[in-house]
Structure 1
Amino acid sequence: MASEGVEPGTVRPGGRTARVREAVLRAAGDALAEHGFDRLDLADVARRAEVGKTTVYRRWSSPTGLIADLLDDMAEQSSPRARTGSLADDLRANARLVLKTLTDPRQGALFRSVIAAATCDPRTAQALHRFYAVRVGEWSGCVTEAVERGELPAGTDADEVVRAVSAPLYYRLLASGDPLDEAAADRAAEAAVLAAKAGAYVN
């Protein structure tokens, strides 16, 4: 039985059970990318992962618990942030990493499914918020270091600068349908740098 206040599936297994978790999360990601959240079925995930249904139901209990664990795992496995010594180069690297993720046939479809689910399911929304908090927190170091080097004004909100880089790319993915390419990524990074240097994100 899950501990009170802990979402099923979010407690990290160790030893050989880690292999089961890896297989199930990979299968869940595939199913999400193919069919979306509405058709995510734990029995189907178990079949894809070649794991007993009882194991999946006992460990994750619901599609929401499975998505929460999948997002946590994705945050942990994401590429580390750039450390180029230049804010412009660091944020360009961030933008291109976001671009690579969103244009990947599997990852892009997966994110669209999870974001859609988060609009109507509070627990999925919480898991998605945790995912982005981890990734923004990782990349905010680029901005903090830029402040320390004197590239940006003191008091610049590092998290807001990082969010400003990816926001235009997500808008293209989810709303406008405009092309998602390197030009769009580089432009988003450049705009964030210019705004930050102008003091737009100073608290």
Structure 2
Amino acid sequence: MKPVASASRRPTAVGRGKKMRTAVLEATIAELTETGYAALTVDGVAKRAAVHKTTIYRNWKDSTNLVADALASHFAQDIPIPDTGAVDSDLRELARTLISTMTTRAGQALLVTVLSDAVRIPQLAEVKSALFGDRFRRAAIVVTRAIERGELPADTDPTELLKTLAAPLYFRLVFTGEPVDESTADHAVRVALAAARAHALPPV
């Protein structure tokens, strides 16, 4: 009868390199969702990812760097940018997608981590800045196309319009906990477009 290998000597189940990194980052997101940032541990991530704790420490300095990397990787995924031919419907799709993503259990946990813990943790603050910067850059084409079609004033700043659209949604999601749904998204779109068309937003 062969001896049973001790837990400390068991082989890494997910291998090395890209496969290991993917498993660890996905496990980190799952742990954030279940426990929150304050209770997250490298031990918990290692167990969920089926890797040794030493594997994580060889690749990430500490749990904060691990979380920052996991969040950056998660939010760097491409988001669908609608092209319906009209700015109103394009922005409605964007706003509704934001709500549907952020109202999942995982979305809420990640949002709290990025927006709340970033106040005191520099690495997470960098992730937050990169996250919003990336989102605004990706979605700017929606506003640019609308200007080219004559649907919005020529001096409309895409980022300012998108901030005006997103602000009331994030306020409910993060601060007040009020319900958000498609009607919330549609109202935010109407307000943002009205402000742009009235030249009430800071110009380019």
**TM-score class, shorter:** 0.7 to 0.9
Say whether 1:161 aligns with 2:197: no
- Which stretch of the first structure deviates more once superposed, 61-70 or 26-35? 61-70
Give the Cα–Cα distance (whole angstroms) in 2 for the partners of residues 74 and 138 of structure 1.
16
The one-letter amino acid of 1:170's match is Y
Q: How many residues are matched?
A: 189
Note the C-alpha offset of 1:63. Answer: 2.2
Root-mean-square deviation over aligned CA pairs? 1.7
Q: Which residue of the partner structure matches residue 3 of structure 1?
A: none
Unaligned runs of 5+ in 2: 1-14
| TM-score of the superposed pair, with normalisation by structure 2 | 0.86
The equivalent of 1:81 in structure 2 is: 81
Alignment TM-score, normalising by the size of structure 1: 0.87
1:31-110 mapped onto 2 (5 Å cutoff): 31-110=31-110
C-alpha separation in 2, matches of 1:157 and 1:58: 44
Q: CA deviation at 1:16?
A: 5.8
Alpha-carbon distance in 1 for matches of 2:16, 2:137? 31
Moved more, 76-85 or 186-195: 76-85
- Report sequence identity in percent: 40
Q: Is the 8 A contact 2:114 2:127 kept in 1?
A: no
CA distance in 2, matches of 1:34, 1:110: 11
Q: CA deviation at 1:75?
A: 2.7
The separation in 1 between residues aligned to 2:169 and 2:139, in whole angstroms, is 16
- The CA deviation string for residues 114-147 of structure 1, in whole angstroms up to 9 with x for no partner, is 3221121122111111011111110011011111
Distance 2:124 2:94 in 1: 25
Whichever residue aligns with residue 183 of structure 1, its letter is S
1:181-200 equivalence runs, <5 A: 181-200=181-200
Deviations 1:6-46 (A, max 9, x none): xxxxxxxxx96221121111111111111111112122111
Aligned partners of 1:87 and 1:146 also within 8 Å: yes
Task: Show CA shifts across 1:67-109 (max 9, x none).
Answer: 2222222233242211112111111111001101111122212
Which SS does the other structure have where 1:37 is aligned? Answer: coil
Cα distance in 1 for partners of 2:188, 2:63 equals 34
